[in-house]
A and B are shown apart, each in its own frame.
Chain A
Amino acid sequence: AQKVTQAQTEISVVEKEDVTLDCVYETRDTTYYLFWYKQPPSGELVFLIRRNSFDEQNEISGRYSWNFQKSTSSFNFTITASQVVDSAVYFCALVDNYGQNFVFGPGTRLSVLP
């Protein structure tokens, strides 16, 4: 069975600090896909990034960066120079090779204080 763990339930940082959100996954598939979503107070989930299991290159997009390490089954998300607008719940998710059965982690609530 597939499983996603986000051990950090809540994180609070002061604006401009860097913060890393952890994601650890379990799967028996050799091919799979990982995602990060942001849920602002409005409730809708916003897609941030996808990564397939064959691509271990880290990615940077503005203040966001992702570190995928297959050896430790982790897909961590770092926000550099955090801003108040980054305050949200962040979900890590895993889907199998057939694009079915999205499995979400429990989420990490990030609060960025001014």
Chain B
Amino acid sequence: DGGITQSPKYLFRKEGQNVTLSCEQNLNHDAMYWYRQDPGQGLRLIYYSQIVNDFQKGDIAEGYSVSREKKESFPLTVTSAQKNPTAFYLCASSMTDRAYPDTEAFFGQGTRLTVV
């Protein structure tokens, strides 16, 4: 079945450690996104990538890093520079072909990161 897979579902990190969240999609989508959601809040864009080997900062990129070496994969690293990393992280993908610009974004099931 086509879709987006995020792993792990729950992640615990000690203060000062880097941690990487996985996001894989088999939808052949060009664009991939990372969002952060805090309790009772909306979605805030961290990073997005339209094509392989290219990505752009979103609204809250500080303390995060990404890579896009393969079309299917868009891992997010939460670095020790991120002051308050405890949150729910959602990965999404969409098609960006101008012939199909109205395609919806598909979301993974999310990773809940807790700093202990």
State which residues 46-101 of A face B: CB under 8 Å. 47, 50, 52, 91, 93, 95-101
B84 in the interface (beta carbon within 8 A):
no
Query: In the complex the two chains form, is A50's CB within 8 Å of B43's CB?
Result: no
Minimum CB–CB distance for B110 against chain A, Å: 4
Tell me the nearest residue of chain B to A106, going by C-beta: B42
In the complex, the number of residue pairs spanning A and B with C-beta atoms less than 8 Å apart equals 69
Evaluate whether A99 and B102 lie within 8 angstroms (CB atoms) in the complex, with A44-B108, A45-B107 already known: yes
Query: In the complex the two chains form, is B102's CB within 8 Å of A98's CB?
Result: no
Query: In the complex the two chains form, is B94's CB within 8 Å of A102's CB?
Result: yes
On chain A, the residues within 8 Å of B96 by CB distance are 98-100
Interface size, chain B (Cβ < 8 Å)? 30
Query: In the complex the two chains form, is A101's CB within 8 Å of B40's CB?
Result: no
Residue from B40, B104, B108 within 8 A of A50 (CB atoms) = B104
Query: In the complex the two chains form, is A44's CB within 8 Å of B33's CB?
Result: no
Query: In the complex the two chains form, is A50's CB within 8 Å of B102's CB?
Result: yes
Tell me the nearest residue of chain A to B50, going by C-beta: A100
State which residues 30-63 of B face A: CB under 8 Å. 31, 33, 35, 40-43, 45, 48, 50
In the bound assembly, the distance between CA atoms of A31 and B98 in angstroms comes to 12
Evaluate whether A47 and B42 lie within 8 angstroms (CB atoms) in the complex, with A98-B96, A102-B33 already known: no
B103 in the interface (beta carbon within 8 A):
yes
Minimum CB–CB distance for A31 against chain B, Å: 8
Minimum CB–CB distance for A76 against chain B, Å: 18
Query: In the complex the two chains form, is A99's CB within 8 Å of B90's CB?
Result: no
A25 in the interface (beta carbon within 8 A):
no
5 contacts between A and B (CB under 8 A): A43-B90, A44-B107, A45-B107, A99-B95, A106-B41
Residue positions of A touching B, CB distance < 8 A: 31, 33, 35, 37, 42-45, 47, 50, 52, 91, 93, 95-102, 104-107, 109
